[in-house]
Amino acid sequence: MMANPARNYSHYGDDFEEDEDQTLPPRHANVPGSARMAMPAYRVNVIGQGESAAARVNMPRPLPNVAPPMQGRANVPPQVMMPRQRMALPAPRYNRPQPKTLNNRFALLDKLSLANIAPYKMLLGVIGGLVAISMLILLVTTVIGWWNIWQDDMTYGRPRTMQLSGWVGHNEQTGEPTNFIAQNINGEVNIYEIPGGDTSKMTVIKGPRLFGKNADLTPVKIRLEDVNTDGHVDLIATVDGSELVYINDSGKFRPASGDEVRRIMKK
């Protein structure tokens, strides 16, 4: 504990006791229950002045680690405040799963064996599996059909239309090729020929009539090829996986006969 310099009275003279009553205020006893407790008074020297100019100040005695006294109570013995200490928390405990023993595995296999399953439960399981597989197949088929229709919409539009240009020798002396437009309107296939780009001489080549679901969404594909090797380019139309051959004969296209189709198939 550090020494309090205010308690050093050795340098004061004998006249300290004489003028004490003149300079110090009257002291009050520390009576329990009093409204105000009297603090001890000490004499200190003012810097730059002599001993006669000493001033009194109320300065309590410094006591380290001691709680201050409470007003309105008697002198309570000082309580030493201990520094706080952190309490160590217990280590967490984890419930780890116990490894399965060989006996537990055999018990699990016994529970899953078919001998312990009731016949009606097996029947319900088989029926549920078949229904699930059927629903899956239906879903996959629907998705594939929707995907194909969407691709045809992007390629051929609605109604299904395809355009082709080529040199077939029909009114092409103007220097313009012949244009072909194949359409499927409500299941009826028609191919429009515009020879040499002259719309006034346009002809219509009749195609097959389509039936069935989504018949109006079936695209018509056309191409030019000399299938009978006569030196004239012929017209082939592909509709729903079937090919229709139109022979280029005498400046126009006509459907191929049965004998011509058989000769073409032999090649």
Task: Please provide residue 147's backbone torsions phi and psi, each rounded to the nearest 5 degrees.
Answer: -65, -40
Find the farthest-apart pair of alpha carbons in the chain and give their distance in angstroms, rounded: 157
Calpha distance 70→67 (Å, rounded): 9
Can you read off the two tokens belonging to residue 34?
């009093």
Q: Domain segments of the chain: what residues?
A: 1-26+37-63, 115-155, 157-266
pLDDT at 170 over 80: yes
pTM value is 0.53
DSSP category for residue 48: T
CA–CA dist 189, 237 (Å, integer) = 10
Task: Tokens for 55, please give them.
Answer: 């001033």
Give pLDDT tens digits for 193-232.
Answer: 999 999 999 999 999 999 988 899 999 999 999 998 888 9
Q: Let me know: does 65 contact 107? Beta carbons within 8 Å.
A: no
Q: For residue 202, which phi and psi values (nearest 5 degrees)?
A: -70, 140
Hey, what are 267's tokens? 């090649």
The confidence band for 50, taking pLDDT boundaries of 50, 70 and 90, is very low
Range list of H helices, the chain: 20-23, 102-112, 119-156, 258-266
State the pLDDT confidence band at 166, using cuts at 50, 70 and 90.
very high
- C-beta of residue 242 within 8 angstroms of C-beta of residue 255: no
Pair 210, 190: CB distance under 8 Å: no
Tens-place pLDDT, residues 131-157? 999 999 999 999 999 999 999 999 999
